[in-house]
Amino acid sequence: MTKTFQDSIIITRELGLQYLWIDSMRILQGDEEDWTKEFTTMATVYTYYIGNIVTAAAPDGSVGCFFDQPSTIEYGFKTVVRTSEHSQVTEMWSFILTTSNFLNSCPGCFQEDHLAPRSLYFYQDQLQWQCRTLEANEKFPQGIDYNDPSLRSHIFDWHHTVNIGMPTFSPGLAWFKIVNAYAWNGIRFWKDKLPALSGIARVFNEIFAMDRNSTGDPLGQHYLAGLWRAGLEPQLQWKSTRKSPEPCPGHPHHPTWSWVSVYVGVGITPHEACSYEALVALVVLASGDEYGRVRSGSLQLRCHPLVQATV
């Protein structure tokens, strides 16, 4: 048993919990069929359990969760800076804990982390904890009140949005908040990009009923390689954050009209008018999982006629 597993058992006992879930012991490593099967259950597993134990500073299982710590703790501080009466207020933090590179490169870690109700991160210099309403660490134990809420809280807010019925809310734009963050991760293998987001896509569909809102598709497909058939046109206006996006290496079949065909950050312009209509949008699945890998895709558009104008 690796040191990380041993430390995780200690943490579980200290937290007073009875059960510990270890993915790599449940999924047969190297077995593609078993990996695909188990990935379809990720949304259920990570949405309804207690939380994550995250070894954020460990590149492998030999390092473990615990590190030698200094005898004293240096608490952080935040200051608010305003250069003039009408200028924008700037918050300056003495310490900002960024996401571990080890987490970014793990295919399943993105959705495991953001679907879970809470996570406890073991970094080399301190602990960090995050739930759907609070993020804190040993330097800021009372909480880190970032202006931009965490993705975990965004996913939690989806339920609230549906319950109160916000008429101006756009599911497509909400989805691209997730896509934009996910696309920056270090997942660069084509076979991992869609499965590693499939759990969040399932939860999104359960909340917003995207499968019931899609129309015009003869095969009834509502999820198209990282895009939703409902309100597809604005989603097709995604753009790369780099001028020359590179194709996702190792696989030539991802539809180029989806953001999964590039491995750089992507975004979408809110409420940008569309001069076209998607008549047909189809993907050929690589397995029976509609949120999983695809072999190819096709798209048929009908553009609005050009209008003569004088500028």
| Three-state secondary structure of the chain | CCHHHHHHHHHHHHCCCCCCCCHHHHCCCCCHHHHHHHHCCHHHHHHHCCCEEECCCCCCCCCCCCCCCCCCCCCCCEEEECCCCCCCCEEEECCCCCCCHHHHCCCCHHHHHHHCCEEEEECCCCEEEEECCCEEECCCCCCCCCCCCCHHHHHHHHHHHHHHCCCCCCHHHHHHHHHHHHHCCCCCCHHHHCHHHHHHHHHHHHHHCHHHHCCCCCCCCCEECCEECCCHHHHCCCEECCCCCCECCCCCCCCCCCHHHECCCEECCCCCCCCEEEEEEEEEECCCCCCCCEEEEEEEEEECCCCCCCC
Strand partners, 92: 79
Q: Where are the domains of the chain?
A: 3-152, 170-303
Model confidence at 89: pLDDT above 80? no
Indicate the range of 39-43, 140-144, 296-300 predicted with least confidence: 39-43
Model confidence at 166: pLDDT above 90? no
Instruction: Report the C-alpha gap between 264 and 205 in whole angstroms.
Output: 25
Q: Tell me what percent of the residues of the chain surpass a pLDDT of 70.
A: 72
Provide mean pLDDT across the span 272-279. Answer: 81
Model confidence at 43: pLDDT above 60? yes
Q: Regarding predicted confidence, which is higher, 128 or 165?
A: 128
pLDDT at 248 (0 to 100): 55
In this predicted model, what pLDDT tens digit does every residue of 170-215 receive, in sequence order?
Answer: 777 788 888 887 876 656 567 778 888 898 999 889 888 888 766 6
Model confidence at 245: pLDDT above 70? no
pLDDT at 69 (0 to 100): 77
Determine phi and psi for 246, rounding to 5 degrees: -90, 145
Q: Mean pLDDT over all residues of the chain?
A: 78
Closest C-alpha among 247, 222, 243, 245 to residue 172? 222
11 contacts: CB under 8 Å, gap ≥ 6: 53, 65, 120
Provide mean pLDDT across the span 23-46. Answer: 75
Q: Tell me what percent of the residues of the chain surpass a pLDDT of 90.
A: 17
Instruction: Report the C-alpha gap between 33 and 30 in whole angstroms.
Output: 9
What's the one-letter identity of residue 31? D
pLDDT at 95 (0 to 100): 65
Q: Regarding predicted confidence, which is higher, 191 or 164?
A: 191
Indicate the range of 116-125, 159-168, 212-221 predicted with least confidence: 159-168
Model confidence at 254: pLDDT above 80? no
Model confidence at 258: pLDDT above 80? yes
**Angle of CA points 230, 231, 236, to nearest 5°:** 115
Identity of the highest mean pLDDT range in 53-57, 91-95, 185-189, 239-243: 53-57
Identity of the highest mean pLDDT range in 20-29, 125-134, 150-159: 125-134
